[in-house]
Structure 1
Amino acid sequence: MGSDVLVSQIIHYFQTDSSQYWLYVWQHIYLSGITLVIAMAIALPLGYIGSRIKTVAAFCTAFSQVLRIIPSLALLFLLIPFIGTGMTPALIALVVLALPPLLINTILGFNEVSPLYKEVGTALGMSRQQLRRQIEIPLALPYILNGIKLALVEIIASATLATYIGAGGLGTLIFTGLGLYDMTYVVIGGVSVAILALLSMAGFDFLIRRARRYDEASYSI
């Protein structure tokens, strides 16, 4: 298929099926967003606890290493006999895949907070809650945001496989194109997933830079 023909077919698709395309985009974003929220609700508190208790940190590190070697497609198929198909197994599989970067970066972020800042805060009469809210969390935030960024990119990329179990999303276009030997659908789906991932990375990189500048301005000693 020539490039001119491919471009014309892509244009034709958007002219005739744009509503279907945006439905796939919404499904992909919705699945990714819910996954990220659930993974953060699990990983951020556990990561904070791990930064304070070495045995928890060791468990989180070992757990994350195990999760990283499990292929996302294999995990999806392993869940089918127990949960069936649809949104629920896709959510579980994606949450599991998102946990390692969130856990590791949260633990790293809190561990990187210099004891000097805590000593200064304690000398100023701060309570433990104030130390956590005003010193520990702001200083750990760039690392936490980096973990969220890595997790979200992993989720967006892996969510394409959720099509296999009926969860929808942009993977529908990719696998439809592969099944029909039609590169039009593959290109539209693949480029759309790449754009979502790149936008997520750019957005979080901006937030990380802002958080670091704020830390440098506020906590320079």
Structure 2
Amino acid sequence: MDAVRAFFNEYGVLLLEKTWEHLYISFAALFLGVIVAVPLGILLVRIPKVAGIIMGVVSVVQTFPSLAILAFFIPLLGIGKIPAIAALFLYSMLPILRNTYIGVKNVDRNLLEAARGMGMTSFQRTVRVELPLAIPVIMSGIRMSGVYLIGWATLASFIGGGGLGDFIFDGLYLFRPDLVIGGAVPVTLLAILLDYTLGRVEFYATPKGVRIEGGAA
């Protein structure tokens, strides 16, 4: 306990600052991933001939090493948080895009025909029928992406993006296990907290009938 107290006395303020930077980088990338991948996933359901190509390209990007993606953005965007967010945004795309595509595509066509028969426009059918029914699958992709990003955001330290990776890599360079643990434990806790929070969002955003059938919790 004395060692823990001493660590917080020395690094407490810096730890809060790095935690905020870590959350900022992760949430910015996740937000960009959601606002791009969800509409794109819905669009791909409408143009299935293109869907396979787009999914393939996004899947290939996902296989690139994280450091290679970060290095790719340095000549374009320099160093700091912006290239880190751009790289993490690319990594966030696949789980969200894939789950949105699958969730919307698997909506019962009979329900869509019934909505069309009621005079709903394409936009109304998307907002009132497809998205509510696909929410559990879409949120599953967002949760997966969010947890991944919390971990991947530690690499932002390599290009001056800040975050808890600064503690981890400084600890490795200086042979300071306390710094490594001081960075790794908050990252783990943030990932668990984010997954739980998004799980609750999924639960309350899912219509009750779908919630019961899909078992969202």
Q: What TM-score, normalized to structure 1?
A: 0.89
Match of 1:3 in 2: none
Matched letter for residue 194 of structure 2: S
Q: Work out whether 1:199 is the aligned partner of 2:193.
A: yes
1:55 equivalent in alignment to 2:49:
yes
Instruction: Return the letter of the residue paired with 1:121.
Output: A
Which residue identity lines up with residue 10 of structure 1 in the other structure?
A: V
2:86 alignment counterpart: 92
Instruction: Quote how far apart the aligned CAs of 1:204 are.
Output: 1.9
Say yes or no: does 1:32 pair with 2:26. Answer: yes
* 2:36 corresponds to which of 33, 42, 50: 42
Partners of 1:10 and 1:188 within 8 A in 2: no
Distance 1:216 1:153 in 2: 24
Q: Where do residues 3-42 of structure 1 align in structure 2 (5 Å cutoff)?
A: 7-42=1-36
Report the Cα offset of residue 83 of structure 1. Answer: 2.7
CA offsets 1:3-27 (integer angstroms, 9 cap, x no match): xxxx532321112321111000000
Q: Distance in 2 between the 1:214 and 1:19 partners?
A: 43
The residue identity in structure 1 corresponding to 2:93 is L
Q: How big is the shift at 1:218?
A: 9.7
Which of 154, 164, 171 pairs up with 1:170?
164
Taking a change above 3 Å as real, the CA distance of residues 193 and 126 of structure 1, as seen in their structure-2 partners, is same
CA contact (8 A) 1:141 1:211 kept: yes
**Matched-pair identity in %:** 33
1:47 touches 1:103 (CA, 8 Å); kept in 2?
yes
Aligned to 1:152: 146
2:134 paired with 1:110: no
The runs of 5 or more residues in structure 2 that have no matched partner are none
- Deviations 1:43-94 (CA, angstroms, capped at 9, x unpaired): 1111110111112311221012202211111211222233321112111111
Moved more, 9-18 or 155-164: 9-18
Query: Structure 1 residues 126 and 192 mapped into 2: Cα distance closer, same or farther (>3 Å)?
Result: same
- 1:111 CA displacement: 0.5
User: Which sections of structure 1, spanning at least 5 residues, go unmatched?
Assistant: 1-6
Q: For 2:87 and 2:152, how far apart are their aligned partners in 1? A: 9
Q: What residue identity is the alignment partner of 2:35? A: A
Q: What pairs with 1:74-85 in structure 2 (closer than 5 Å)?
A: 74-85=68-79
Q: Report the CA distance between 1:210 and its aligned residue.
A: 3.7
TM-score (norm 2): 0.91
4+ residue runs over 3 A deviation: 209-213
